[in-house]
Amino acid sequence: MTLNLRHYALLGLLAFLLALPGRMTLPPLDRDEPRYMEASEQMLLSHNFIDVRFQDKPRYLQPAEIYWLEAASTAIAEKIFGPSVLRKTWPYRIPSLLAATVIVPLTAWIGATLFGGATGLMAAGLLMVSTLFVAESRMATIDTVLLLDILCIEAALLCTLTDRQKNLPTHPRVAVAYWLALGVGLMLKGPVVLIPGFGTPLALWFLEKDRSWWSRLRPRWGWLLMLAVVVPWCVAIEIISGGDFFARAVGRNFLGKVAHGQEAHGLPPGFHLLVFGLAFWPGSLFAAMAIPAVWKNRKLPQVRFLLSWIIPHWLVFELIATKLPHYVLPTYPAIAILTAASLMAWRPPALSRWAKALLGIYGVLWAVIGIAFCLAGSIALYRLEHTFSLSALIALGGSLPLILGAIMMLLKQQRQQAAFCAMGAAVIAHAGLFLSVIPNLQTLRLSPRIADLFENVRPCDKSILISSSYSEPSLVFLVGPDTQLIGPAAAATYLHDHPQCSLALIDRRDEAVFRHTLLDYGLDVVEYGRLEGLNYSNGHHLDLGLFAPR
């Protein structure tokens, strides 16, 4: 089967449509996403496109490109729909949506180039429905755009290797694409992009004992293109920040993650392998089943290329101290292609008794994850909201039989059919989750509820919210950058100093300190509303009151 432009366009359209559900109703997801949103909004309003800030503090974690993209998409939306969209989530998520739309057909192209059209389509499907990709493609964070950039780097490397295999010259535009993609990646995430960008060629040199093909990428002048992308902004931020950006972004953020776990994310090696069963579900079991076939075909040039893509990146992020599931997302397209090749292009090799036992155990875990995934939405609605949703039950009724069917087909050694069933179950479960479950989980939607209450009762157009018991970035994004995140005593002091246009958000556990400090000032307050909920970022149950001076 040969894929043409129409196939890739339809794949992109399918990826676009599957990434739409929940994009407008999904609240800002703490903690990273609203920081990106708020920083992009502040960049747009201040017209300062060099110095990235969250409220009045510099956000020196990575270069500015992702904020440029989100600010640009929001500026276009503002021109069409008006300034009210600045407090909406969906404009900031457009870059991730567009990146996901391109990632899927590009994965199919790489898979088709290596193993044929059927493998390319299967690989695109496995990636498109994987849990981590689905989650990241709906958020206004950096990871989906970074994945697209790394895919472009790997695609350029593949073009070079294909030309070498066919004994054809490599067009200079391939080298230009490779070095420009590296420069764009540096502007997105800094030195992280060099791990796959240089790690894949280095691994190939090690495996093949041949580096002559590297000259096809014109390294003599290509690195100048890479620097041309990133140096102007680096010089500007160095001047503006007085060197503080590089001290924080490289010294504390990048190198700090290598040495020790940051923000309570320090975990031992093996974490990414452990969470792979859920992160790449439903393809995770089929990826495990592909390992014997990959080992058998390990000397094929196509397999060497994909292993050189996966192994350096995976090893680096298993060895560094800080670990989050999305760190190995750039390896998922290559894993999906190898998995698809084992399903569509290779015959499964005979397995030893121990291999069958291990796959059986992993298969049981995979089945438990799948069934739990289908049930999770309805259970969460009942446990948190004490209600059922008809549409969530419909999604359950559609996904559960498919995952049970996949299990039955696996028992009959019908791997392809099982993969199709599992992917269908994932699509339906995701649609139910984003359309029916998350919009109705009011217990978890603290920030939107607080923002609505604040909007309804604020005494002035420029009223300030003082929040002492709930300090998530999503609240800052929805209420405004002037939001004060301070303790209960300081909140009382601020209310005394700014009594006309301020409102204080205080949890019941902090009210005693808050009221005691108010008494010292001789100030009394009125409660304008109260709401309860769960802060999912730390698991704290909150009973929040909104107060203003009497």
Domain ranges, ordered by start, for the chain? 5-344, 353-440, 445-549
How far, in Å, CA of 150 to CA of 135, rounded?
18
How far, in Å, CA of 500 to CA of 310, rounded?
58
CATH 3.50.50 fits 445-549, yes or no: no
**pLDDT at position 264:** 46
Measured in residues, the chain has a length of 550
User: Residue 91 is which amino acid?
Assistant: P
Q: Which residues contact 294 (CB under 8 A, 6 or more apart)?
A: 303, 307, 338, 342
| Maximum pairwise Cα distance, the chain | 86
Q: Phi, psi (5° rounding) for residue 526?
A: -115, 140
Alpha-carbon separation of residue 337 from 177, 306, 325, 342 (angstroms): 22, 8, 20, 9
- Two tokens, residue 494: 């601020």
Cα first-last separation, the chain = 74
Q: Phi, psi (5° rounding) for residue 298?
A: -60, -20
**pLDDT at position 254:** 62
**pLDDT at position 316:** 94
In sequence order, the β-bridge partners of residue 506 are 545
How far, in Å, CA of 184 to CA of 516, rounded?
54
User: Residue 96 is which amino acid?
Assistant: S
Q: Which residues contact 292 (CB under 8 A, 6 or more apart)?
A: 348, 349, 351, 355
53-110 pLDDT, tens digit each: 999 899 988 999 999 999 999 999 999 999 999 999 999 999 999 999 999 999 999 9
Q: Which long-range contacts (CB under 8 A, 24 or more apart) does 460-467 make?
A: 460/500, 460/501, 462/501, 463/501, 463/502, 463/503, 464/498, 464/501, 464/502, 464/503, 465/502, 465/503, 465/504, 465/505, 466/491, 466/494, 466/495, 466/502, 466/503, 466/504, 466/505, 467/491, 467/504, 467/505
**pLDDT at position 243:** 86
Contact 213, 32 (CB under 8 A): no
What residues in the chain have per-residue pLDDT under 70? 251-266
Provide the sign of the torsion angle of the four alpha carbons 5, 8, 13, 16, taken in this order. Answer: negative
251-297 pLDDT, tens digit each: 666 665 565 555 545 578 899 999 999 999 999 999 999 999 999 99
Nearest alpha carbon to residue 147 among 139, 61, 170? 139
Is 544 in a helix, a strand, or coil? strand
Provide the sign of the torsion angle of the four alpha carbons 181, 152, 285, 195, taken in this order. Answer: negative
User: Residue 431 is which amino acid?
Assistant: A
How far, in Å, CA of 134 to CA of 128, rounded?
7
**pLDDT at position 192:** 93
How far, in Å, CA of 246 to CA of 139, rounded?
26
How far, in Å, CA of 348 to CA of 293, rounded?
6
How far, in Å, CA of 144 to CA of 99, rounded?
6
- Two tokens, residue 72: 């640009």
Burial (CB < 10 A; 0-12, 13-18, 19+), residue 259, is exposed
Q: Which residues contact 488 (CB under 8 A, 6 or more apart)?
A: 468, 469, 506, 510, 511, 513, 514, 517
Contact 184, 236 (CB under 8 A): no
**pLDDT at position 331:** 98
